[in-house]
Amino acid sequence: MRYFITVFSTLITLSSLAFGQFSPRSFGVQSEWRALDDDAPGEPEGRLGSNVIIDILPGENPDVLWLGTGNGVSKLLLNLNASSETDRYRFSTYSDEQGLGKGGISGLFVTDSIVWAAFAFDTTVGISGAGGGLAYTRDNGANWTWFPQPRDRLYGLNRQTGEDTVLGYWPTATNVDNITYAFAMTENNVWIASKGGGLRKHHFAAAYTDYNDTTGWRVVSPDGTPFNTGAELADRTFSLAFDGTYLWVGTANGMYRTDDEGLTWQHFSAAIPGISGNFVTALDFNSATNSLWAATWRATGQNEFYAVSKTSNNGASWQTTLTEDQIEQAIGRRETPRIHGFAFNGNATWACDDIGLWKSLDAGLSWDLYSQIRDSVRAGHAMYEDAIYSALRTTAPDLMWVGGLDGLALSYGDRGLWHTLQTAAPLDDAARSVDTYAYPNPYSPNISSVVRFLVNSSGGSATLTIYDFAMSEVVELPSQIVSAGDDYLTWDGKKNGVVVANGTYFFKIEKPGGEVWGKLIILD
């Protein structure tokens, strides 16, 4: 997220970071939905889908979490009293290998009766990649239905103006730059928010059989003008929240609110005191304090700025918080807040930022930044990337969950003692059988804080040595302790504090039972 160039590519770049582990690929949209059952290809994979965690949501009971990852949706079944790590945290991941959408999760929504997931993947064209379609399950993952990214059929397209004269608006006829970022469910409709596809609703009481139809996923333009994402900032939608009365929509032109399923709308923009910016990347409602929280980024106005805007009276008045001034007061330096999501527990609020996780106990009057998340038991295990995209505070069990670019972490009672949960392809995976490998590979020290080296051992001390292509030693790192089984060592790509040159390197890991060798490419 720190690499954004223009404001309207900001949330889009989240897709590139989250799904960038997948090489750019051409895309194609299937013409029909498909239901997935026991005959579907592939059982769910029994590990966390990716170390990129976009969403963390509670499931149907306190022992279940749903995770939106950079490689599909993962279901986590908790058994904290189990003796082994594997039994305490049991993952099931659903992705294109199980017949769902291709790529990573761009949006996730969970109720006690249905789970919705939106997929996105990189392409060689477009700003943000492409929408990989939507999927839902009504039985906690036992069966899924996937269908292509909602878009419009062309009936009477005027190829000079781009408007469809039958539809009465500018249609979205492709899934390129058409990625769903958020869901909401009101009394009668399920809603999706997309940049290229705009705001759309579907009457959820109808049979879930044909979503790939304009009459099913109806376009809604909150500013009242004909839908046109190419020209109307209000039609570029990124976030949703339903507070029980009002549906709130975050767009590139501020927030819109409806209490009649989209028939009429009220607009809230940066022209209103207390709203910092018109690009609204995240919305969430704290029912304990009856307050709506919005990540309001600068859009086009010169007086707009990045911050959080909140209201405790349904939009009658607004307050700006987590500003650059407050950040400077908290950590002694100025940083631009780029907030991706919120979590709540009573009066406590958490905000997920590019530079870490913020916490406020006084409704945003002051904030504290968490220190780097490090595993309190396993030395060397940490979330090395600063950006946090998602957080969840639960009370039964009493846990704090966070996710970002570098895995998932939990803290019992939010006491600062963390346990990290990260994933890598096993060394003896069916797709590979090697003694060790490095990831990411190629590795860019300017993008990733560390490169990891996976190794299997009986546990104990291990030493990592890096050699250049001529087999001259570049650096020998101090010994690191690895756990029994598959575990990793890390390197920051530096020698004496300076990043090494681009090129091909070899590495040796000396561990209990012998040594193993591998190859690493460094490419900035």
Residue closest to 456 by CA, chosen among 513, 495, 395, 405: 513
Inform me whether the pLDDT recorded for 194 exceeds 70. yes
The residue type of 19 is: F
Q: Is 193 helix (H, G, I), strand (E, B) or coil?
A: strand
The token pair at 79 is 């058994």
User: For residue 198, what pLDDT band results from cuts at 50, 70 and 90?
Assistant: very high
- Phi, then psi, of 234 in degrees rounded to 5: -65, -20
Tokens of 362: 């006084």
Rounded (10°) CA dihedral 441, 446, 449, 452: 10
Instruction: Identify whether the C-beta of residue 185 lies closer than 8 Å to the C-beta of residue 222.
Output: no
So where are the chain's domains? 436-522
In this predicted structure, the answer to whether residue 453 has a pLDDT above a threshold of 60 is yes
Alpha-carbon distance values, 513 to 460, 462, 510 (Å): 10, 10, 8
Output the pLDDT for position 432: 63
CA-closest candidate to residue 63, choices 45, 94, 93, 89: 89
Around 498, how many Cα atoms within 13 Å sit in the side-chain half-sphere?
5
**Residue 412, beta-bridge partner list:** 399
pLDDT band at residue 19 using 50, 70 and 90 as cut-offs: very low
Q: Report, as an integer, the average pLDDT of 249-254.
A: 98
Strand-pairing partners, residue 258, are: 247
DSSP category for residue 211: -
- CA nearest 240: which of 276, 196, 284? 284
Residues 6+ apart with CB under 8 A from 256: 222, 223, 234, 248, 249, 265, 266, 267, 268
427 band by pLDDT with thresholds 50, 70 and 90: confident
**Predicted pLDDT at 209:** 47
> Would you call 9 helix, strand, or coil by DSSP?
helix
φ, ψ of residue 483 in degrees (nearest 5): -80, 160
Q: Where are the beta strands (DSSP E) in 70-114?
A: 72-78, 89-94, 104-110
Contact at 8 Å (CB) between 185 and 240?
no
User: Does position 176 have pLDDT exceeding 50, yes or no?
Assistant: yes
Q: Which two tokens stand for residue 316?
A: 């009658």
Residue 247 and residue 311: Cα distance in Å, rounded? 14
If one looks up domain 436-522 in CATH, what number appears?
Answer: 2.60.40.4070
> Residue 14 in 3-state DSSP?
helix
Residue 495 belongs to what H/E stretch?
strand 494-495
Q: How many CA atoms lie within 13 A of 12 on its CB side?
A: 23
pTM score, whole prediction: 0.88
* Rounded CA Rg of the chain: 23
pLDDT digits (tens, 9 = 90+) for 356-383: 999 999 999 999 999 999 999 888 899 9
- Residue pointed to by tokens 């209201």: 311
* Cα angle 246, 250, 253; round to 5: 120
CA distance 425 to 116: 26
The pLDDT assigned to 3 comes to: 25
Q: For residue range 69-101, what is the model confidence (pLDDT) as tens digits?
A: 999 999 999 999 999 888 999 999 999 988 899
CB 117 within 8 A of CB 103: no
Q: Are 52 and 70 in contact (CB under 8 A)?
A: yes
Beta strands in 322-435 (DSSP E): 339-345, 348-353, 356-360, 368-369, 388-395, 398-404, 407-412, 418-421
Enter the DSSP assignment of 53: E
Q: What is the pLDDT of residues 470-502, one digit of tens each?
A: 999 999 999 999 988 899 999 999 999 999 999
Q: Which tokens in the block code for residue 230?
A: 């190419």
- Would the pLDDT of 12 be above 80? no
| The two structure tokens encoding residue 450 | 């560390």
- Are the CB atoms for 212 and 150 separated by under 8 Å? yes
CA dist., res. 202 & res. 213, Å (int): 10
The answer to whether 277 and 269 have CB atoms below 8 angstroms apart is no
Dihedral through CA 28, CA 236, CA 310, CA 296, nearest 10? Answer: 90
Tokens 């997929």 map to which residue?
A: 119
In this predicted structure, what is the pLDDT of residue 327? 97
User: Model confidence over 31-50: pLDDT tens digits?
Assistant: 333 444 434 457 899 999 99
DSSP 412: E
Residue 119 is encoded by which pair of tokens?
A: 């997929």
Q: Would you state the pLDDT for residue 414?
A: 86
Side chain identity, residue 415:
R
Query: Residue type for 407, please?
Result: G
For the stretch 94-138, pLDDT in tens is 999 888 999 999 999 999 989 999 999 998 776 778 999 999 998
